[in-house]
Amino acid sequence: MGPLKGFRVIEMAGIGPGPFCGMLLSDLGAQVLRVERHGASADVYDPLQRNRLRLTLDLKDPKQVAVLLDIVEHADALFEGYRPGVAERLGFGPDDCLSRNAKLVYGRMTGWGQDGPLASSAGHDINYIALSGALHAIGRCGERPVPPLNLVGDFGGGGMLLAFGMVCALLERERSGQGQVVDAAMVDGSIALMAMFLGMQARGLNCNQVGGHFLSGAAHYYDTYQTKDGKFMAVGPLEPQFYAELIAKAGLDPNVFGGRGFMSPEDDPRCWAELKPLLAEQFMTRTRDEWCAVFAGSDACVSPVLTLEEAADDPHNQARQAFVKVAGVTQNAPAPRFSRTPAAHPALATADPTAVNALLSQWGCSREQLAKVAALSAQRAVTADIAS
């Protein structure tokens, strides 16, 4: 099931953006074989590892790398997240793989990209989004930039960019009959996510001061406010008609707050600092649930700030089935949704040798190639017995 049904993908196991890419592809129907290093352990309940069959290979052993290359012959795509040059040194770089399968799409997930002064340097999400300009835009006015978890670099600008790039390359292959290398760098993806702000900056809007942009929380009409019970509401009525509804529903003085919304000609950033504490004071007069009742069914663009546990129980998310249970564990449902080729319900990852053998047989691996994989599985089983 899913729009990617039938595509065969090899995932060289890593952390963060790589597994996220594998989750996206496998959620939408691709058959993803996750190749893990010798001795690696996996959390089968982790959503980032779901839907995959797992095969353990010692990538420092040329004979086991040869097994990987045998499988590459039958795959549509492979992706890895090593520093530039590592896959080449181990013997399964782009040239090695494309020489065995000219139609292969080879995805490369890095922070800095395959070239440039920082290409071989270590880094994490916070470093990549710092260099992209994204981190500087996130934070409170007068305070230091705040890391937005690792959503911008690892996931939005990383794993999702890689998945998009690989699907694009697979589509192009249908026309050309040729594979290619996809260089997905988290710094590139983070810069791409800043496209709207680059445009705003070109038009003279303030995008260079930490916390100075209206979307960063500087404006009173786009921020979070604490409620009487210590919880929070998110406020974001940018359009004049939505802003007017906020004023009416919240019981605010229209002579003070009127005409100050983002898309109103009367909006004046110099008033934001004056109006924000007044709005904060108003939200402190009721609990979060009481405010939810006030704004229920309105277009004021006001929502409760939910925890992950609360989000899973939210009526809208439940109606959309946005969360699913996998072996009793709450996980995110596959997204996006498709009318004709819906995604299947997620399944636990497994390293069952029989299932791996069946998958590789379906891919077209020869008896000799399957025998090599089976021999490795048997060898590991004997080693495990001896160790126990």
pLDDT tens, 224-270? 999 999 999 999 999 999 999 999 999 999 999 987 666 666 778 88
Domain 219-305 in the same topology as domain 8-193+326-387? no
- In the set 96, 124, 136, 314, the catalytic residue is 124
Q: Is 154 known to be catalytic? A: yes
- For 8-193+326-387, CATH number out of 3.40.50.880, 3.40.640.10, 3.40.50.10540, 3.90.1150.10 equals 3.40.50.10540
Could you say which of 154, 183, 188, 223 is catalytic? 154
User: How many other CB atoms are found less than 10 A from the CB of residue 298?
Assistant: 14
Per residue in 4-58, pLDDT (tens digit) is: 999 999 999 999 999 999 999 999 999 999 999 877 777 878 999 999 999 999 9
* Structure confidence by residue, pLDDT tens digits, 184-208: 999 999 999 999 999 988 988 767 7
Q: In this predicted model, what pLDDT tens digit does every residue of 315-357 receive, in sequence order?
A: 999 999 999 999 999 999 999 999 999 999 999 999 999 999 9
Region 208-232: mean pLDDT is 93
Query: d(Cα 239, Cα 262) in Å, to the nearest integer?
Result: 7
Tokens of 226: 């604490």
The pLDDT, as a whole number, for residue 42 is 73
CA distance 186 to 73: 29
Longest pairwise C-alpha distance within the chain: 81
Nearest CA-CA partner of 233 in 271, 298, 284: 284
Q: What is the DSSP string of 113-165?
A: -SSSTTTTS---HHHHHHHHTTGGGSB-TTS-B---TTIIIIIIIIIHHHHHH
Over the chain, what is the mean pLDDT?
Answer: 93
Is 96 among the catalytic positions? no
Rounded distance between C-alpha atoms, residue 188 and residue 136, angstroms: 16
Return the pLDDT at 262.
67
Q: Is the pLDDT of residue 103 over 50?
A: yes
C-alpha–C-alpha distance, residues 313 and 303, integer Å: 15
> 34 - beta bridge partners?
11, 54
Q: Where are the domains of the chain?
A: 8-193+326-387, 219-305
231, 288 in Cβ contact below 8 A? yes
Per-residue pLDDT, 383: 55
Question: Which is it for the CA torsion 260, 262, 265, 269, positive or negative?
Answer: positive
Instruction: Specify the fold of 219-305.
Output: formyl-coa transferase, domain 3 (3.30.1540)
Report CA torsion sign: 308, 313, 316, 319. positive
